[in-house]
Amino acid sequence: MSGTRRPRIAILGRFAEGTTVTRYAALVNARRLLELVWAAGGEPITLLPVAGSNWAERLSGIDGVLMPGGSDVSPKRYGEEPNTDEIYGVDDLQDEVDLDLVNYVFENGFPLLTICRGTQVTNVALGGTLLQHMAEPHRHHVAKVSFESNIEELGLSHPDVQASCYHHQILKDLGRGVVPIAHASEGHVEAVRYDNAKNWAFGLQWHPEDNFDEDAAQLEIVRAFVSAARR
């Protein structure tokens, strides 16, 4: 890989029923997320979720994988039936491809960053479960989160970050090799490292794209990811 080329970061797209600029259903990624990856030095590339993908072919030339936020994972994927009406946006194809890609990433050692749903689906892929609905959801919620470890690997100069959250589910039973490294004040996990990964691999429960131009720590985390992809 050329030393001057931006590392190519694959971001699996999310299905949407429609957008203001499409006449029909759409495939989307948050503009702010793509702008964050670009600001961190990466080249964001959206991938269409396709069942039975040949990931070796599709990830040729890709340097890192980012699993973004999105709608809820079907509880059936972690052995449960829905127990709340708050579950939304479940899409079987999205779940299938997310899980398949995560497993391929771990098997083949790609640098990995997971965000919100991405962290939840990765926990499920590794055998974990989710709390289907929080007693007090973190929607439009910004609060301090303190890291307990792995500060240097995440490029942070200080353990505290202002986490901008939009989630109503949290990790419950942790999957294989999912190690908590930061918690919310209520006690639930807000960041993890993936100990069974062959490369740089971390997950956030919040959305760093929301406030990366106000809280430098958000940009530094993604810079650390892009740097790992560059290596």
d(CA 209, CA 36): 6
How distant, in Å, are the alpha carbons of 11, 141, 189, 221 from that of 195?
A: 22, 28, 16, 18
CATH superfamily of 8-230: Class I glutamine amidotransferase (GATase) domain (3.40.50.880)
> pLDDT tens across 55-97, in order?
999 999 999 999 999 999 999 999 999 999 999 999 999 999 9
Asked whether 219 and 36 are in contact (CB, 8 A), the reply is yes
> pLDDT tens across 138-190, in order?
999 999 999 999 999 999 999 999 999 999 999 999 999 999 999 998 899 99
